[in-house]
Amino acid sequence: MKRLICLLLLAGMLVSVLVGCGGKTQPPAQSDDSATETEPTTTPPEPTEQELYHPKKEDLDGYNFRMLLDAGLDKDWCFTFREDELRRDELDDAFYARNIYLEDYYNITISVAALPGNDQYQMAQYLTTMTNGGTDFADTIHAVAQHIMPNAIPAGHVLDLNQSRMVNFDASYWDQRIQQEYAVNGKLYTLEGDYNVYDELCTFAVFYNSYLWNLYEYTDKYGSLYDLVTNHKWTLDLMLEMIMDTSQDNDHDNQLGTADRWGMISEVPIPYILYLGSGGSIFSHGEDGALSILFSDSTNYRKAYNIFEDTLKRVSMNEEVLLIDAPVSVGGLGKQFGTAFGMWMNDQALFYTPTVLTVTYLQDMKHEMGILPIPLYTDDQESYYSWTSAQSHLPLMVPRTALSHFDTTMKIAEALCYFSKYSDNGSPTVLEQEYGWFTTRKLCHNAKDRSILEMIFAERTYDLDFAMQISGISASVTYEFSYNRKVSGLSSTLASLRGTADAKLAKFLKDLQENAAN
């Protein structure tokens, strides 16, 4: 009996085990290659700017792309397009190679011309005449900013470039600050970029005489200038200290004159250039792009006034700074410059503060020179600001009469800029050859010099008020007080201009809105 009970219990246990196992999901059989590890997925690298913005090749059916410069300007500084036997240097070669390549790439012709005659500043009147007549005369126009912008923009003679679908505005080959600082209520009528080098040549900088720097053993006292700049220690205070250390009465007549050695030789606008170098401006742009007079706010007005007054007292009225008017001539056949140029060539100043263009004529200077940005007003500034002068640079503008082919115009302008920085066929680009060209003109001796130049050009600043002559503030400070080496009357003059500035801006914006072309 016991045996029977044991057998029945054993049978019950077996049944329960079988039932339990039957309710489980069995794992699938392993395949023969199950031991092979799966390759990890990798994220493809982000495309480079060169890859991302590469223009698409297409046939534009022989389109004639016309670039027109104002009269009296040497277009060779801007968009050289010489025949083989006429090219002069490596920069000419780069312009030529770019244009030839682009003509084939798009099946187009690139025409560069200037208004006839030697008298500059004819473009404003010519543009008005062509616009009123409805004549399609150019794809892009290029004239001195201060002489074309006050007329062309409020009159509606040029197009809003922000409306273009063909331009990669954030690309490094387009200047970024001009898009912010010349913008008007979200509209943009001017551009600068790598398609030419002239805008960079029109930038103010501080040049130093390497011979005098070494003679006075300033590296031991102050440190390397390159390190001072890159470590944000190159300030107005430090520059003024160096100026005081350098001035020397060579002819012992107890006064500094043109026969003596100066800490700095400068041109009239230097106090205003230093104000812009502080990051200062006359206008501000709201979050929505709306333009307003910075001076309307009492806090900003007081801050700006203090900087104006400070730079006038410490630089314009400084007896160890030789302040003169601009050079007699910067271009043309004579290339004759004023007193400052000759004294600089003769090692009579530690610092010289013209535009980059001025010193490109210095291949014959006895000693080497170096280049520095406009100094920081205070060492807590985020960046340097070196002014691209509205009295000389030639922004790209598109006339109203080009509206029917606006897309084609801007497509080619974009490609001109792109192929000035990047090459498809390995030929040297305009940007590469620009620095070789600077080397032959004693501006770029080594990698550090190039680094400083790149910093200056990347951190150029543009002054809309000076270009448009809206408030009158910039012109007043630049000339009336700087040239006369005075500070008395500054407060009342600025207060008066401040009182009328808002009304002037309102009229400008009203005209712009009523006459806008696109």
Full set of structural domains in the chain with CATH: 54-200+392-444 (3.40.190.10), 204-387+462-515 (3.40.190.10)
- Provide the pLDDT confidence category of residue 278 given band limits of 50, 70 and 90: very high
6-15, 163-172, 501-510: lowest mean pLDDT where? 6-15
Instruction: Check residue 39 and give its pLDDT.
Output: 63
Greatest Cα-to-Cα distance within the chain, rounded to the nearest angstrom? 142
Instruction: Calculate the alpha carbon distances from 369 to 108, 227, 444 in Å.
Output: 43, 17, 9
Q: What is the mean pLDDT of the chain?
A: 83
Asked if residue 408 lies in contact with residue 63, where contact means CB atoms within 8 angstroms, the answer is: yes
Highest mean pLDDT among 186-195, 432-441, 481-490: 186-195
Q: With a cut of 70, say whether residue 137 has pLDDT above it.
A: yes
Q: For residue 163, how many other CB atoms are within 10 A of its CB?
A: 14
> What phi and psi values does residue 284 have, to the nearest 5 degrees?
-130, 155
Torsion 397-401-406-410 (CA) sign: negative
Q: How does pLDDT run across 82-134, given as a tens digit for each residue?
A: 555 556 678 888 888 899 999 999 999 999 888 887 777 889 999 999 999 99
Instruction: Check residue 104 and give its pLDDT.
Output: 96
- Whole-number Å distance between alpha carbons of 420 and 414: 10
Residue for token digits 């490094």? Answer: 172
Q: With a cut of 60, say whether residue 21 has pLDDT above it.
A: no
Highest mean pLDDT among 26-35, 245-254, 384-393: 384-393
Highest mean pLDDT among 348-352, 441-445, 477-481: 348-352
> What phi and psi values does residue 111 have, to the nearest 5 degrees?
-115, 125
Model pTM score: 0.85
Write the burial class of residue 385 (CB in 10 Å: 0-12 exposed, 13-18 middle, 19+ buried).
buried
From the list 280, 273, 111, the residue with the least C-alpha distance to 206 is 273
Instruction: Check residue 472 and give its pLDDT.
Output: 82
- Strand 291-293 and strand 283-285: the pairing is antiparallel
H or E element, residue 283: strand 283-285
Q: With a cut of 60, say whether residue 145 has pLDDT above it.
A: yes
- Provide the pLDDT confidence category of residue 378 given band limits of 50, 70 and 90: very high
3-class SS of residue 68: strand
In the 8-state DSSP scheme, what is residue 14?
A: H
**Percent share of the chain, pLDDT over 90:** 47
**Percent share of the chain, pLDDT over 70:** 83
* Overall average pLDDT of the 179-185 stretch: 94
Asked if residue 291 lies in contact with residue 185, where contact means CB atoms within 8 angstroms, the answer is: yes
Instruction: Tell which wins on pLDDT, 443 or 464.
Output: 464
* Overall average pLDDT of the 185-206 stretch: 93
- Provide the pLDDT confidence category of residue 326 given band limits of 50, 70 and 90: very low
Instruction: Check residue 336 and give its pLDDT.
Output: 37
Instruction: Tell which wins on pLDDT, 297 or 405.
Output: 405
- Would you state the structure tokens that stand for residue 515, as one six-digit string? 């006459």
Instruction: Tell which wins on pLDDT, 103 or 335.
Output: 103
From the list 470, 472, 416, the residue with the least C-alpha distance to 153 is 470
Instruction: Check residue 84 and give its pLDDT.
Output: 57
* Overall average pLDDT of the 242-247 stretch: 88
From the list 81, 74, 151, 165, the residue with the least C-alpha distance to 114 is 74
| 284 strand-pairing partners | 292
* Overall average pLDDT of the 439-457 stretch: 87
Instruction: Check residue 26 and give its pLDDT.
Output: 43
Spacing of C-alpha 424 from chain mean position: 25
Q: How does pLDDT run across 37-93, given as a tens digit for each residue?
A: 566 678 888 999 999 999 999 999 999 999 999 887 655 555 555 555 556 678 888
From the list 181, 394, 176, the residue with the least C-alpha distance to 282 is 181
Highest mean pLDDT among 79-83, 218-222, 307-311, 344-348: 218-222
Q: With a cut of 60, say whether residue 28 has pLDDT above it.
A: no
As a residue count, the chain comes to 518
Instruction: Check residue 362 and give its pLDDT.
Output: 73
Q: With a cut of 60, say whether residue 337 has pLDDT above it.
A: no
- Provide the pLDDT confidence category of residue 11 given band limits of 50, 70 and 90: very low
H or E element, residue 265: strand 262-267
Q: With a cut of 70, say whether residue 360 has pLDDT above it.
A: yes
* Overall average pLDDT of the 207-228 stretch: 95
